[in-house]
């Protein structure tokens, strides 16, 4: 049974400069919740209770977020803010959260390789913080079920437009049932006219520990980095790798437009701000139409 999750969070977040010059991109909030908290909560909902976050220099705010804060807790208690106190204390109780640093920015594959000692020969999940999955979509749970059935690695996959595939790992699939394919190959960020399909690997994975052997064999690829996609392609030549396809509920939080969409949708669904915000938003759209 998969118990562990790895969350790479060592990237520079250049797509959100200048905000990410001093603030880790994973701490940018959707309303009032940092994106990395949403990713951790997704892992916990899927039953993963041992979580390793791969950080880097300047990412101390991530560790602090999931740590206890006695001074803040005492202040909230003294002021009778018990709801806020409960929220803050719950963060440190979400799961067993560990951190380790990636000392050099050598790519996503290298970041995952840093987790080998912690994983300790067990199968594990990888969740990328740039891809946010709506809480109502049980994507990771479904992927874990596929892993339990076949005992092999599983990728999340989603169809994108042909013009967008050059931003993803493009999969050559062999469909074996609805929503499930065997991965024949996967190539990192191919030109649109050379992509084997428009089925893109999305940032959720369940890996067998053999991925680390594949990572050791992987040479620097696209951008001069150790690409996780290249290691998956090597692994797929040695043992079966599956792609679980899904359609809805994903936001690319590294994309400013998708980040705004996620913020609006999650805000509207909340009981505290949703009704008022929905009314204001409808009025705002109407006013803009009239201008």
Q: What is the DSSP letter of 145?
A: H
- pTM to 2 decimal places: 0.93
Q: Are 91 and 66 in contact (CB under 8 A)?
A: yes
Distance CA 141, CA 44 (A): 10
Reduced to 3 states (helix: H, G, I; strand: E, B; else coil), residue 225 is coil
For the stretch 184-215, pLDDT in tens is 999 999 999 999 999 999 999 999 999 999 99
Distance CA 165, CA 229 (A): 14
The CB density around residue 71, as the number of other CB atoms within 10 Å, is: 8
Please report the sign of the dihedral spanned by the C-alpha atoms of residue 164, residue 10, residue 225, residue 118: negative
Distance CA 132, CA 35 (A): 8
CA-CA distances (angstroms) from residue 88 to 33, 35, 75, 77, 227?
A: 11, 16, 12, 11, 36
Successive 10-residue mean pLDDT values, the chain, 291 residues: 94 88 92 95 96 93 92 94 92 92 90 96 95 94 97 96 91 94 94 92 96 94 87 95 95 90 95 95 88 62
């Amino acid at each position: 049974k998969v118990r562990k999750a790895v969350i790479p969070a060592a990237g520079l977040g250049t797509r959100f400069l200048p905000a990410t010059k001093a603030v880790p991109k994973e701490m940018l909030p959707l309303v009032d919740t940092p994106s990395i908290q949403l990713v951790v909560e997704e892992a916990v909902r899927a039953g993963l209770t041992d979580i390793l976050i791969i950080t880097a220099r300047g990412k101390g705010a991530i560790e602090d977020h999931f740590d206890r804060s006695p001074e803040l807790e005492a202040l909230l208690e003294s002021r009778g803010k018990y709801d806020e106190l409960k929220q803050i204390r719950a963060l440190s109780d979400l799961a067993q959260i560990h951190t380790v640093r990636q000392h050099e920015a050598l790519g996503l594959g290298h970041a995952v390789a840093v987790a080998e000692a912690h994983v300790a020969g067990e199968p594990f999940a990888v969740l990328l913080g740039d891809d946010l999955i709506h809480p109502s979509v049980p994507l990771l749970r479904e992927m874990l079920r596929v892993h339990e059935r076949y005992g092999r690695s599983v990728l999340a996959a989603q169809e994108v437009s042909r013009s967008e595939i050059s931003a993803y790992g493009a999969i050559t699939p062999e469909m074996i049932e609805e929503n499930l394919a065997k991965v024949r190959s996967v190539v990192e960020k191919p030109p649109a006219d050379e992509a084997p399909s428009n089925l893109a690997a999305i940032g959720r994975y369940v890996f067998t520990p053999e991925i680390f052997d594949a990572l050791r064999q992987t040479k620097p690829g696209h951008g001069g980095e150790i690409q996780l996609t290249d290691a998956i392609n090597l692994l797929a030549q040695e043992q079966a790798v599956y792609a679980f396809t899904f359609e809805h509920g994903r936001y690319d939080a590294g994309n400013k437009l998708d980040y705004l969409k996620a913020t609006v949708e999650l805000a509207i669904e909340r009981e505290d701000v949703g009704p008022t915000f929905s009314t204001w938003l409808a009025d705002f759209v109407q006013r803009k139409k009239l201008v």
